[in-house]
Structure 1
Amino acid sequence: MKLNTQILADIFQSNMILPLNKDFKLGGIVNPEEKVTVKFNQQQYQTISDQNGAWQVKINAVSDPKFVATILVEAGDRKQEIENIRFGKVYLLSVQSNIEYRLKDEAHFAQVKTELSEHKYPDLHYYNVPQVDYIDPETGEVKPKEIHLEQWHQVDAENCGYMSAVGFYMIKKMREEGVAGPIAIVDCFKGGTSASVWIKKSDLAGDAELNKKFLDEYHNQIAGKTWADFDRETEEYNQIVNKHNQDLARYLKMHPDTSLSTAKNIVGHTPWPPPARPDLFTRPCGLYETMMSQVKDCVFNGMVWYQGENDTDRAEQYHKLLPLLIHTWRRRLHDPSLPVKLIQLPGYADYPEDSAALIRQVQLQTAKAMPEVDLVSFVDGGEEHNIHPTNKKIVGERLGQIEVGNDYAGTPFVKKCQYSDSKLILTITRCEQLKLNSKTILEVITENRQKQVELTAADLNKNQIVMNLDEKPQEISYAYANFTKEIGLYNELDYPVSPFKIRL
């Protein structure tokens, strides 16, 4: 997709940041089977576009952190030049509302603006991928109609509010931890989306269970309907949402000291999802085609995936959906070892029973099973009845510290579980010394009973939990619930131990 008539894809602009010490790519759309020439750093690269006009070239890595580039691209009688291209660290951030949550809405925004006004945290950058919902296959019309070209920004007090809050705190922490040179994030997200929205259609259809659960259900929902039907259903839904918003605003006005979390628990949550229609961004595979496609020619130092909320009603399929998505994106980006950080969901009470707990378990299992995939838990950052915690500083800084890599690759988790001589021993990896920051309960199920065991400091021995149990457990779990206040088990770096459910 292109929103302009340039040779290069829209994301390739003056003032952009590209990865240092890593071969990178350029690409775009021209005429079918047209020669494209790229001139960069006294070298020339040539290719021929495919039958759809798509082209891509691979450029040799830049190793000089002070190098500032100009790139000239020619196709036919057209030329495009971009300048002030610099090289550093570049990260791709995706997917739904909690990582989309803008810095201007975050709890510490006023402090951030002050610090940026004082020129703290220099040379940080971001680019927001245009949130294209749909492209008409016949006319090429883009929806929403008011979509506009985005540009690369160097973060300052005026523009910082429109970037991902998690992303800002991540790169701020990286700067504080000593990462030199430009650091950039590319924000590619859209609130309210299932992982299925971001997966290639043939990949989703290739699994019978996923095909039935997502593609077949979607096609059944839209079958036999006209555009007039879709518009009528959408209007009815919008009226319901408007009434909900009015009721919520009225309640908050009458109870000004009530938190949004409490108010939503009383008034109700925003009705979701909207009715299915062919041009709605929630359709399976839709944003893979309209948004992910905008970054397909890019190269990144790493990717951050923060999603799962919108799949809690289909949590049983997530063990297939999440690994498939990572495979799909790595293949599309031509980077099979692209490092991926998975943000483990924070607590939130109003999901279907234990569905968020299952999603977290899948996130942990995926990180353990797939190379270069690490878990960054945010389980301690949730709000009971607010799906969008306003404090993103915790997870963002934790993520930044892990990205720097001076300590552990990610969240600590149970690596080994043993029972012998009336002792249960849980060994925690990515940990030298466990500690309890608050009340911490383990659920233990044996053949004859189920009980709760509160951990004490005496149960902790370096990176192990050692408990006296007179009966062999069949199952042991920790924080395995949509929401619990009993998140108290941490390593010495204050990273929370991942929730778990283990059957022995």
Structure 2
Amino acid sequence: MKNQVLGVLLLVLSWVTPAQANVVLPRVLAHNMVLQRNKPLPIWGQAAPGETVAVQFAGQQVSTVADAAGRWQVLLQPLATSSTPAELVITGRNTIRLRNVLVGEVWLASGQSNMEYTMRKNSKATIPATEDASPLTELERAHNPLIRIFLVNRKELVKPDSLHRGWSVAQDSALRSFSAPAYFFAKELNQRLNVPIGVISSAVPGSRIEPWIAEAAFQQDSYYATQKVDGDPGKFYEPMIRPLVPFAVRGFLWYQGESNCFLAETSTYTHKMKTLIESWRAAWQDSALPFYYVQLAPFKYSESKDTKVPLNRETLPRFREAQTAALQIPYTGVIVTTDLVTKLDDIHPPYKWKIGRRLAWLALAATYKKHNVPVSPVYQSMAVKGNEAILSFQNFRSSLVSENKQPLTDFQLAGPDGVFHPGQARIKGKRVLVSATGVAQPVAVRFGWDEVAKPNLFSKSGLPVRPFRTDAAATNPTTATTEVSK
């Protein structure tokens, strides 16, 4: 891994040679980009050592001198929203004019194949005939000039592009190869905020979480002092995340975990999420950058062949619990996906437009302080009255409903012996009452505690209740999704 990091650094340093004294920009600074509004804006690159570089944009002009290694960086003062295309000019011994630049909201989306899942694949998704299929034909209609996309290519991001390509309007061939969850997130945000949205997708199919964390971040964390971290730490961070720093962003989106779930991870995954989140925030020098992620959808992990460790039907619920535990980290949030599958043996479920939309709702509620967006109910507390467990919920504003108007599913109830029985549940206002034949004294409830569970308990606004169990130490699931700085 050290050789890989050295190779990346040498490649970056090779931007400028004595024979090439021109100013050179990183790929993420390009035509058609969106700059983050209301934040200081770093603009950086390479030049000849000692060369004066000036940057002009939106009435500002600031200059600096490249250091002995040819590195330079300036900071533009925070800008207001602008949907009017403008030109950003960088001048040294050469002049670079970046055209069609907007100012709005910028998010970085990362993870494995379900985040990488392209709009081309989205067009071929199969859903029930009773469902709205219009998102499947989104490519035919997409041409909103206020939505811009940047797709990270792991082999190219560290190389300069003299034509300053990379950012594109979200349409045509550029959109076909782009992340569907990230695009639909951007679309929903644009519709709700009515500002330009830029989204960067940097994802690799099949990737574990470890490659997205810098090797130094593991080395600096005492938690890992007595254990070896495998999974190629830094493998994707170095070529696919580090070169994006310090491009100003509002926050991060994360859809990953399947590869670590196959390893039956629990608390170790929670800590790896903590390491990833804190190290990314440190790289961007902003400890309050929001980090919103996707809870894994139902899938038959226990029936998978050739797994490295034994898996059972509780492997996924326990992994989800580890994902939920990461909400202890400030400025985080998670969306629930128990309803977004059509085949339980498909680890790439459809409905990526709903994934993107729910991530956007989370951002709208927590980051942008909007009060008219749906949020998933979460378990709060349990009381016992006679032979019934009384469950209270929080984090939603409407009532609880059975999504299909059938009796509530996927509840289990246990008494003092710890044996769980199928539960009968009914809604009473914002509470759910659970009982079970043979359980006279309820002690614990589990909900959605099975890899194939698709519970029908929803908020009236259309979002499923997050799976939970009362017989394990739990954190307050909502404290970390509020008070996100703008």
Which TM-score bucket, shorter chain as reference?
0.7 to 0.9
Q: Is 2:243 the counterpart of 1:294? A: yes
Residue in 2 aligned with 1:203?
Answer: 217
Please give the per-residue CA displacement for 1:186-215, whole angstroms capped at 9, x wherever unaligned.
Answer: 101111111111112122123466466553
Q: Superposition pairs for residues 313-328 of structure 1, below 5 Å? A: 313=263, 315-316=265-266, 317-328=268-279
Task: From 392, 395, 403, give the equivalent of 1:437.
Answer: 403
SS at match of 2:82: coil
1:397 and 1:347 map into 2 onto residues whose CA distance is: 19
* Equivalent residue number for residue 255 of structure 1: none
Is 2:483 the counterpart of 1:494?
A: no
**Closer, same or farther: CA 448–213 of 1 in aligned 2, 3 Å:** same
1:370 counterpart residue number: 329
1:80 corresponds to which residue? 96
Name the SS for the 1:10 alignment partner: coil
| Structure 1 match to 2:308 | none
State the 1:25 CA deviation.
Answer: 1.9
Please show how residues 256-271 of structure 1 align to structure 2 within 5 Å.
none
User: C-alpha separation between the residues in 1 aligned to 2:48 and 2:428?
Assistant: 66
2:220 maps to amino acid: G
Question: Residue 79 of structure 2: SS of its match in structure 1?
Answer: coil
Partner of 1:503: 471
Paired with 2:336 and 2:218, the residues of 1 have a C-alpha distance of 27
- Cα distance in structure 1, aligned partners of 2:469 and 2:449: 7
Report what 2:431 is aligned to.
464
Aligned to 1:374, the other structure's residue is in SS state strand
* Deviation of the 1:366 alpha carbon: 1.4
Give the 3 Å change call, closer, same or farther, for CA 207–404 of structure 1 in structure 2. closer
The CA deviation at 1:161 is 1.2
Q: CA deviation at 1:64?
A: 4.4
The more displaced of 411-420 and 380-389 is 411-420
Secondary structure of residue in 2 paired with 1:396:
helix
Q: Shift of the alpha carbon at 1:306? A: 0.6
Q: Distance in 2 between matches of 1:115 and 1:319?
A: 35
Which letter maps to 2:259? N
| SS of residue matched to 2:299 | coil
Asked if structure 2 preserves the Cα contact closer than 8 Å seen for 1:33 and 1:50, the reply is yes
> Would you say the 8 A contact 2:180–2:353 is kept in 1?
yes
Shift of 1:472: 4.5
Q: Does the CA contact (< 8 Å) of 2:423 and 2:435 recur in 1?
A: no
TM superposition shift of 1:340: 1.6
Aligned counterparts of 1:42 and 1:207: Cα–Cα separation in 2: 44
State the one-letter code of the partner of 1:94.
S
Correspondence 1:71 to 2:88 = yes
**Identity percentage over the alignment?**
21
Aligned mates of 2:96, 2:43 — CA distance in 1: 12
TM-score, normalising length from structure 2?
0.77
What amino acid is the match of 1:436? S
Q: 2:417 aligns with which of 426, 431, 448?
A: 448
CA distance in 1, matches of 2:379, 2:250: 28
Q: CA 1:48 to 1:493, structure 2 compared with 1: closer, same or farther past 3 Å?
A: farther
Q: CA deviation at 1:159?
A: 3.3
Q: Which amino acid aligns with 2:214?
A: K
Cα contact 2:377–2:393 (8 A) shared by 1: yes
Moved more, 383-392 or 469-478: 469-478
Question: Which letter does structure 2 place at the counterpart of 1:13?
Answer: A
- Which residue, out of 286, 298, 314, partners 1:347? 298
Spell out structure 1 runs of 4+ moving beyond 6 A.
none
Q: Which residue identity is paired with 1:418?
A: A
The 8 Å contact of residues 476 and 501 in structure 1, kept in 2 or not, is answered as: yes
- The structure 2 residue matched to 1:153, chosen from 168, 172, 177, is 168
Opposite residue 344 of structure 1, the aligned amino acid is Q
Whether the 8 Å CA contact 1:4–1:10 is kept in 2: the answer is: no
User: Taking structure 1 as reference, are residues 39 and 120 closer, same or farther at Cα in structure 2, changes over 3 Å only?
Assistant: closer
What is the root-mean-square deviation of aligned Cα atoms in Å?
A: 3.1
What SS class does the counterpart of residue 356 from structure 2 fall into? Answer: helix
What stretches of structure 1 of length at least 5 have no aligned partner? 136-141, 143-147, 219-281
Secondary structure at 2:330 match in 1: coil
Aligned-pair distance for 1:409? 7.6
2:448 to 479, 485, 489: 479
Q: What SS does the corresponding residue of 2:203 show, helix, strand or coil?
A: coil
Shift in Å, 1:394: 2.5
Residue 106 of structure 1 aligns to a residue whose secondary structure is: helix
Instruction: State which of 409, 413, 417 in structure 1 corresponds to 2:382.
Output: 417
Q: Measure the CA separation in 2 of the matches of 1:324 and 1:14.
A: 33
In the other structure, the counterpart of 1:168 is: 183
- Shift of residue 16 of structure 1? 0.8
Residues 51 and 197 of structure 1, relative CA distance in 2, 3 Å threshold: farther
CA distance in 2, matches of 1:133, 1:412: 42
> Which deviates more, 90-99 or 309-318?
309-318
Report if aligned partners of 2:413, 2:423 keep a CA contact under 8 Å in 1: no
Cα distance in 2, alignment partners of residues 124 and 364 from structure 1:
31
Q: Of Structure 1 and Structure 2, which has the larger fraction of its residues in helix?
A: 1
Contact 2:30 2:98 in 1 (8 A): yes
Distance in 2, matches of 1:448 and 1:115, equals 53
Counterpart-to-counterpart distance in 1, 2:393 and 2:299: 25
| Residue 13 of structure 1: how far off its partner (Å) | 0.6
Q: How many residues align?
A: 422
Do structure 1's residue 182 and structure 2's residue 196 form an aligned pair? yes
SS in 2 for 1:299: coil
Measure how far apart 1:118 and its partner are: 4.8
Residue matched to 1:128: 151
Counterpart of 2:58 (choices 41, 63, 71) is: 41
Q: Is the 8 A contact 2:339 2:464 kept in 1?
A: yes
1:450 Cα offset (Å): 2.1
Query: Which moved further from structure 2: 389-398 or 285-294?
Result: 389-398
Q: Which secondary structure state, in structure 2, belongs to the residue aligned with residue 346 of structure 1?
A: coil
Gaps of 5+ in 2: 1-7, 17-22, 126-132, 303-310, 473-486
- Asked whether the 8 Å contact 1:441–1:453 carries over to 2, the reply is yes
